[in-house]
């Protein structure tokens, strides 16, 4: 097992999943155009983020993506 530090709560955890499994799940849930800035997070922080993210309307998600892309190139 390898360890990682959550980029939200800064706690250190052991991971029982491969990087490939985690990336596959992420690509299913979040568009690839914002994945390059994605940090590693623990399960609790991930669940909290996904509750927030899935509650957004499609228009809010689109604006979030557009704003993120704009800020990435500034």
Stretch 62-68: mean pLDDT, rounded? 82
Of the chain, the end-to-end C-alpha distance in Å amounts to: 38
Q: How confident is the model at residue 37 (pLDDT cuts 50, 70, 90)?
A: low
Q: How confident is the model at residue 9 (pLDDT cuts 50, 70, 90)?
A: very high
pLDDT value for 58:
92
Could you give the CA distance from residue 45 to residue 64 in angstroms, rounded to a whole number? 19
Share of the chain above pLDDT 70, in %: 84
CB 11 within 8 A of CB 42: yes
Q: Residue 27 pLDDT more than 90? A: no
Q: Residue 13 pLDDT more than 80? A: yes
Domain hosting 18: range is 2-72
CB 38 within 8 A of CB 52: no
Could you give the CA distance from residue 51 to residue 32 in angstroms, rounded to a whole number? 20
Classified as helix, coil or strand, 7 is: coil
Q: How many domains does the chain have?
A: 1
């Amino acid at each position: 097992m390898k360890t990682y530090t959550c980029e939200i709560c800064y706690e250190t955890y052991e991971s029982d999943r491969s990087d490939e499994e985690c990336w596959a799940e992420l690509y299913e849930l979040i568009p690839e155009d914002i994945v390059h800035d994605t940090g590693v997070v623990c399960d609790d922080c991930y669940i909290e983020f996904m509750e927030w993210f899935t509650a957004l309307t499609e228009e809010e998600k689109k604006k979030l993506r557009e704003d993120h892309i704009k800020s990435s190139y500034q």
